[in-house]
Amino acid sequence: MELSKKHLVYCEVIILLLSCINLLGLATASPVFRGNETDQQALLEFKAKITGDQLRIMESWNSSIHFCQWRGVTCGRKHRRVTKLELRFLGLSGSLSPYIGNLSFLRELNLEANRFYNQIPQEIGRLRRLEILQLANNSINGETPSNLSACSKLTYVHMRGNQLTGEIPSLLGSLSNLQILSFRNNSLRGSIPPSLANLSSLEGLDLTINGLTGTIPEALGQLTNLSYFAIGGNAISGILPVAMFNLSNMVTFDIGHNKILLDHKLDPLWEPKSKPKLN
């Protein structure tokens, strides 16, 4: 009888130990599993919003292969999380799924030269690792999400050739790593936010062909890394700030087709070095 009780106790101890080991295994393994599952679901939701795919790009997005092997998807080696989504020049049409905000490891989103429409989802502000946002030459409309400023690692933001409206969010001035900001050929209104002068890493600013008004903020003369400044084709007025002429790295300086006046004290022979491409 005593032997049976001891045997029962030993069994209970073994079961308890096995349970603890199992729980420990779940605690260490489940975050990766959940992360992979979240990424796959986010990609499937992205696919569900595609309404036109003449090249059948999305056919590879199925359960027969791991999502890291889907066309246009790049994953990190260690955790197998999506770090890059590149689907440029593929003729895709549809709207951007808000589930894209669940790709928490995403560093680059490149959907250039497709036919995406509707607004940029607010959830894009959840991509805290995002460095490159390339949405140029689509048909995206609505306002630029102000919470894009939460993507603090952004270095490139290309929005040219869309149908964006509203004002340039002043909160974008908090993106201290931003090097290129392009809203060329949209329908933006309002003035150039003075907060853009806080973009100490900025090398290129392209606001050409919009409906911008107001004046050029004097503080933009603090952007010592600026080499490309293009605001032509707006309704900007006032006198060109003298500080802009102190930017020694300036290569392209386009203020044409506005109502901007030059201070008579400025050197009439000043001109930028040459015209580079803004890629």
Give the per-residue pLDDT at 35: 66
Closest CA to 221 of 268, 266, 159, 165: 266
Stronger pLDDT, 22 or 54, i.e. the higher one:
54
Is 271 or 44 the better-scoring residue by pLDDT? Answer: 44
Q: Given this model, what pLDDT does residue 91 score?
A: 98
Q: Tell me: pLDDT of 1 over 60.
A: no
pLDDT (0 to 100) of residue 262: 83
Mean pLDDT of 3-17: 51
80's tokens: 């197998």
Taking the CA atoms of residue 132, residue 197, residue 174 and residue 131 in that order, the dihedral angle to the nearest 10 degrees is 10
Q: Evaluate if residue 206 carries a pLDDT over 70.
A: yes
Confidence band for 96, pLDDT divided at 50, 70 and 90: very high
Express each pLDDT in 254-274 by its tens digit.
999 999 998 755 555 455 654
Task: Report, as an integer, the average pLDDT of 141-166.
Answer: 98
* Residue 148 or 6, more confident: 148
Q: How far apart are CA 240 and CA 47, in angstroms?
A: 47
Considering the domain 36-261 in this protein, what is its CATH number?
A: 3.80.10.10
Q: What CA–CA distance (Å, rounded) separates 50 from 91?
A: 11
Which of the residue ranges 27-31, 88-92, 175-179 would you say has the lowest mean pLDDT?
27-31
Q: Print the SS3 string covering 146-190.
A: HHHHHCCCCCEEECCCCEEECCCCHHHHHCCCCCEEECCCCCCCC
Does residue 190 surpass a pLDDT of 70?
A: yes
Mean pLDDT confidence for 28-36: 53
- Per DSSP, the three-state class of 38 is helix
Query: Residue ranges per domain, the chain?
Result: 36-261
Average pLDDT for 237-252? 94
Is 16 a residue whose pLDDT tops 80?
Answer: no
What average pLDDT score do residues 199-203 get? 98
Give yes or no for residue 73 having a pLDDT over 60. yes
How far is 244 from 219, CA to CA, in rounded Å? Answer: 9
Residue 179 structure tokens: 């090097």
In whole angstroms, what is the distance from residue 235 CA to residue 260 CA?
9
